[in-house]
Amino acid sequence: MEIRFPDAMETSLITLYGIATDARIEPTILGDGMAAEAFEKIDYDFSWLTRFSSPKSVRTKVALRAKHFDAWTAEFLADHERATVLVLGAGLDTRVWRIDPGPGVHWYDVDLPPVIEARGKLYPQRENYRMIAASVADPAWWEEIPTDRPVLVVAQGLVMYLEPAEGHALSRRITDRFPTGAVVLDTHNRLAVRTSNWMLKRRFGSSLMRWAIEDAHELERSNPKLRCTDAISALSPALLGGLPPGAAPRGSELASRMTQLVPPVRDMSLYVRYEIVGA
């Protein structure tokens, strides 16, 4: 299956590459066999990616992030047997199968039409699961999502590609529609945006990341219906410490501890959780 995504959509293949690579290695971080099978089905040249970063580094970063967001998702669903899960910018991720939610959960994966078309060819359907082909910034499709249960909005690898005004409008749309629930996302600060755009510009000819967030409380200040409950550095030693022995590249724990001494590096990417607190 030939994959040709335009611009930022192509970055979703990095996630698939990392998780599929992880599935082939022991000890594995996620052990996602479905992602590995999907990876084998697609025709795409990943050599550009390996020129910028080693496969082991990509695998660790991507799988570790997915593991953390999986844990937050599972924690939310353990407290809410009846819930709506809304994954914005789902890419080719297989989280719904990794989590395997119960019958009281309605799950929606949202992404642009070319990505959803590829998902439809790669992955099976399942009960209470739906894919929506739309831009997250388009208000029309939101009317299709029921609001009768708590919502978990997952925006992994998304907000840095939005304009700041789009991101703030998105947060307000979520809290205006859903009175209870949580939002989980990852952010990039200015240093991370500049570094990532250097690589992306060499690949795509232009900078794709637009929104640098220096403080996890930025959304909270602009939207009083959100309350930040957790913010953890993607480079936190605690994340690496939770992995099986040998799962992380040699020296990564020492490097992680060193980054904690330099705040701009420590906070290049944050994993942030917000509670929807209503009016």
What is the DSSP track for 157-196? T-GGGS-HHHHHHHHHHHHHH-SSEEEEEEEE-HHHHHHH
Give, as one character, the DSSP assignment of residue 207: -
Q: What share of the chain is helix, strand, coil (3-state, %, to 5)?
A: 45, 20, 35
The tens-digit pLDDT sequence of the chain (279 residues) is: 888 887 778 888 889 999 999 999 889 999 999 999 999 999 988 887 777 677 778 888 999 999 999 999 999 999 999 999 999 999 999 999 999 999 999 999 999 999 999 999 999 999 999 999 999 999 999 999 999 999 999 999 999 999 999 999 999 999 999 999 999 999 999 999 999 999 888 888 888 999 999 999 999 999 999 999 999 999 898 887 777 766 666 767 777 888 888 888 999 999 999 999 975
Contact 36, 23 (CB under 8 A): yes
**How many residues are given for the chain?**
279
Give the pLDDT confidence score for residue 279 in this predicted structure.
57
Q: Give the C-alpha separation, 159 to 274, whole Å.
A: 14
